[in-house]
């Protein structure tokens, strides 16, 4: 197998401008960009996907012509479970649909179950088993439906999705739920698909069907994600055990039993048994137990400064070895390292130490899903929006804070629209704050110094 061509990044604005010129009959600029080969990427997207997303048929034809000798896969599915033809049908771009069909895209290609994040708070679910015709039936684009039927013939009309629904069945639901202004076009689509103009399906029944399918889809996607995550974690753990040379073996392997009561908090109602001890209750003071500055938020001392320094040093050591030893680097969108896959035993000890706080918030049965190490510094390009977390409980413990730190606090709000924070959390090394997924919060911009935290997200067990 020939090696993949090297990637060549193009700024989205440059690609958009070239596509716009192409739509006006001036393809020269786009052709120059495409001459760099199939490794061309626009913020990670292929020219094929980008041209479809821009609903630019002329540009798409240029892309298809340029890449045809390299045999691009027109039917490959993206992270959203869609092939380019599915995306074009969803956008309702008949010109793009026609260009892809001329290039022999498979109009019977099925989507796959998938989900993706839209911002920090919204999860979008895409159902598997759908053809482009199913998608066009929902978007209500007559010209797209006509082109797909012409290419796929009568058999395409009878294709069923993963819930046993034909495109005609989905179009019938659209008619039942359509607003008055949109009703005529959905009726015409239904007729094209072989349905009656005025189906007997009631809007309430259509909504009930959709809600049931969405619930089942969420369950399927969740199972798929759990299986995929488990495979990834196993592969990561094997690679780490084979290639990583620990700086501090006790930290890396989580052998910290002797640190409880010294560098990890010990919980007891009888004070004085060890050096680092707290009562497992809200006492109003982090010196004796836990503080509850607002409902749903607890603050307590989880770790000693010495252990925080060791954990930080171990994560820095891992990152420094990653390239040389080809270590896995599981990261989230902002580049923060997912420590849960690299040092799970360590996080198991920290989770056990924080259990009384979880119990205090009413969470008895939880499991760790992700744990990211953050590193905030002046100049880091990151937007900290007000949000609620997607997982049931969040634990945030500060590992590092330089002298003279300014900013990087966490503001907790009583509601999404509150103008002033109900609580302002000032990070101190070893100090933990935990909160439920209901709490609106926002990280303050960092103005001076550096700060790092371990943020652990838990879901119900």
For residue 389, give the CATH number of its domain. 2.60.120.620
Residues 382 and 317 in one domain: yes
Domain end, chosen from 216, 243, 270, is at 243
| pLDDT one-digit tens code per residue, 430-453 | 999 999 999 999 999 999 999 999
| pLDDT one-digit tens code per residue, 72-95 | 578 999 989 999 999 999 999 999
Residues 33 and 101 in one domain: no
The pLDDT-based confidence of 2 (bands split at 50, 70, 90) is very low
Strand intervals (E) in 42-139: 114-118, 122-126
| pLDDT one-digit tens code per residue, 122-146 | 788 899 999 999 999 999 999 999 9
On whether residue 184 sits in a domain, the answer given is yes
Residues spanned by the domain of 211: 86-243
> Quick check: 102 pLDDT over 60?
yes
> What is the 3 state secondary structure string of 165-216?
CCHHHHHHHHHHHCCHHHHHHHHHHHHHCCCCCCCCCCHHHHHHHHHHHHHH
On whether residue 79 sits in a domain, the answer given is no
Residues 23 and 136 in one domain: no
Residues 6 or more apart whose CB falls under 8 angstroms from that of 137 comprise 145, 167, 168, 170, 171, 174, 189, 193
Distance CA 89, CA 81 (A): 14
On whether residue 160 sits in a domain, the answer given is yes
| pLDDT one-digit tens code per residue, 238-285 | 999 999 999 999 999 999 988 998 999 999 988 677 889 999 999 999
Q: In whole angstroms, what separates CA 339 from the centre of its chain?
A: 17
What is the reported pLDDT for 270?
80
Asked if residues 188 and 142 have their Cβ atoms less than 8 Å apart, the reply is yes
Domain end, chosen from 190, 224, 243, is at 243
For residue 190, give the CATH number of its domain. 1.25.40.20
Residues 225 and 108 in one domain: yes
Residues 131 and 229 in one domain: yes
On whether residue 419 sits in a domain, the answer given is yes
On whether residue 81 sits in a domain, the answer given is no
On whether residue 80 sits in a domain, the answer given is no
The pTM of this model reads 0.69
Distance CA 182, CA 174 (A): 9
Q: Give helix 183-192 / helix 142-157 axis angle, nearest 10°.
A: 30
Looking at every residue in the chain, the average pLDDT score rounds to 91
Residues 278 and 375 in one domain: yes
| pLDDT one-digit tens code per residue, 155-165 | 999 999 999 99
The total domain count for the chain is: 3
Domain end, chosen from 209, 243, 277, is at 243
Distance CA 408, CA 388 (A): 17
What is the reported pLDDT for 70?
53
Distance CA 392, CA 361 (A): 11
Per the structure block, which two tokens stand in for 314?
């171990």
């Amino acid at each position: 197998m020939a090696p993949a061509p090297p990637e060549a990044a193009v700024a989205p604005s440059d690609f958009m401008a070239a596509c716009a010129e192409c739509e006006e009959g001036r393809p020269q600029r786009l052709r120059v960009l495409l001459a760099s080969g199939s490794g061309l990427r626009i913020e990670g997207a292929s020219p094929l996907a980008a041209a479809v997303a821009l609903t630019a048929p002329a540009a798409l034809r240029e892309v298809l012509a340029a890449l045809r000798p390299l045999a691009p896969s027109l039917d490959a599915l993206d992270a959203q479970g869609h092939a380019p033809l599915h995306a074009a049908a969803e956008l309702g771009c008949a010109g793009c649909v026609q260009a892809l069909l001329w290039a022999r895209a498979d109009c019977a290609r099925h989507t796959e179950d998938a989900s993706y994040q839209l911002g920090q708070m919204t999860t979008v679910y895409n159902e598997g088993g759908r053809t482009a015709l199913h998608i066009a039936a929902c978007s209500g684009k007559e010209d797209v439906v006509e082109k797909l039927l012409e290419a796929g013939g009568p058999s395409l009309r009878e294709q069923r999705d993963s819930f046993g629904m034909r495109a005609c069945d989905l179009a019938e639901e659209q008619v039942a739920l359509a607003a008055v202004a949109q009703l005529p076009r959905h009726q015409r689509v239904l007729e094209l698909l072989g349905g009656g103009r005025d189906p007997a399906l009631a809007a309430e029944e259509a909504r009930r069907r959709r809600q049931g399918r969405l619930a089942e889809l969420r369950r399927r996607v969740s199972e798929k994600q759990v299986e995929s995550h488990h495979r990834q974690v196993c592969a990561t753990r094997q690679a780490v055990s084979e290639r990583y040379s620990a700086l501090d073996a006790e930290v890396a392997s989580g052998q910290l039993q002797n640190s409880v009561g010294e560098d990890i908090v010990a919980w007891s109602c009888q004070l004085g048994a060890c050096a680092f001890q707290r009562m497992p209750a809200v006492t109003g003071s982090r010196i004796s137990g836990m503080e509850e500055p607002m409902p749903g938020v607890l603050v307590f001392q989880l770790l000693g400064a010495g252990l925080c320094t060791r954990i930080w040093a171990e994560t820095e050591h891992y990152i420094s070895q990653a390239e040389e030893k080809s270590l896995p680097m599981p990261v989230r969108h902002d580049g923060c390292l997912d420590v849960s896959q690299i040092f799970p035993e360590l996080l198991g000890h920290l989770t056990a130490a924080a259990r009384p706080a979880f119990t205090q918030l009413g969470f008895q049965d939880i499991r760790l899903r992700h744990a990211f190490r953050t590193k905030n510094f002046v100049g880091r390009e990151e937007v900290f929006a007000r949000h609620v977390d997607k997982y049931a409980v969040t634990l945030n413990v500060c590992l590092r804070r330089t002298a003279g730190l300014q900013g990087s606090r966490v503001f907790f709000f009583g509601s999404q629209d509150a103008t002033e924070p109900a609580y302002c959390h000032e990070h101190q090394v070893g100090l933990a704050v935990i909160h439920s997924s209901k709490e609106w919060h926002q990280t303050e911009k960092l103005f001076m110094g550096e700060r790092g935290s371990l943020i652990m997200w838990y879901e119900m067990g």
